[in-house]
A and B are shown apart, each in its own frame.
Chain A
Amino acid sequence: AQSVAQPEDQVNVAEGNPLTVKCTYSVSGNPYLFWYVQYPNRGLQFLLKYITGDNLVKGSYGFEAEFNKSQTSFHLKKPSALVSDSALYFCAVRDRTGANNLFFGTGTRLTVIP
């Protein structure tokens, strides 16, 4: 069965510092991986995805994610955090059982401190 794990419920980072939000996955075969962000009182917004190709994927709002097959990880990164990046971040993996739906992690709340 496929799954994703977000080991940190909460991440705090100072404004201007680099940020990392961690995600590890467990799938059979090649993973299709996604990151979403949820701002307060809003739905989820798609940030980026890895399907195939370069291990470093660039997405919206200056975010990027690095796919690491040996470590089964897909960490979300940004070189310089903004206060407006404070939000709830979800990692997701494609369900390969035929439905091709997404299976979401439990979320990580990022707080950027001014």
Chain B
Amino acid sequence: DVKVTQSSRYLVKRTGEKVFLECVQDMDHENMFWYRQDPGLGLRLIYFSYDVKMKEKGDIPEGYSVSREKKERFSLILESASTNQTSMYLCASRTGTLRTYEQYFGPGTRLTVT
């Protein structure tokens, strides 16, 4: 089974802090994703990565950056956390195999910025 793990289930940070959310997958997947989930808005894509050191902006990249130094690890960085970044953050991965589109998700990190 694919396993996607996230470094924290719950995180509380202060406004202005730099925040790192870590995601690791163990299935040698090429593609990795960061989403935020908010009630009534569903999942919105922040950033994704096709390969090591590659990154692409999703639908809502403002205020976020990412890092992918190793294939199995994809980090989301909040350079200066703000209260409107309080949300559930979900990491996902997907194989690069042709015609395979389903993504596998981690358990999520619920971030509260005070």
Interface residues of chain A, those whose CB is within 8 Å of chain B, are 9, 32, 34, 36, 41-46, 49, 51, 90, 94, 99-102, 104-107
With A43-B105, A46-B104 known, 12 other A-B pairs at CB within 8 A are A41-B9, A41-B108, A42-B108, A43-B106, A44-B103, A44-B105, A90-B42, A90-B43, A100-B101, A104-B43, A105-B42, A106-B40
Closest 5 CB pairs of A and B: A43-B105, A106-B42, A104-B43, A44-B105, A43-B107
**Inter-chain contacts of B90 with A (CB < 8 A):** 43-44
B residues within 8 A CB of A90?
A: 42-43
Q: Count chain B CB atoms within 10 A of each CB in A9, A45, A51, A107 and give the residue with the most.
A: A107
Query: How does the 8 Å CB contact mask read for B78-114 relative to A, with 1 for contact and 0 for none?
Result: 0000000000001010000001011111111000000
Asked if B28 lies at the interface with its beta carbon under 8 angstroms from chain A, I say no
B42 & A34 in contact (Cβ 8 Å cutoff): no
Given contacts A101-B33, A106-B40, contact A34 B101 (CB under 8 A): yes
- Which of A34, A101, A104: most chain B Cβ within 10 A? A101
Question: Which residues of B are at the interface with A, using a C-beta cutoff of 8 A?
Answer: 4, 9, 33, 35, 40-43, 45, 48, 56, 58, 90, 92, 99, 101-108
Contacts of A43 in B (CB 8 A): 4, 90, 92, 105-108
Most buried by B among A34, A49, A51, A102: A102
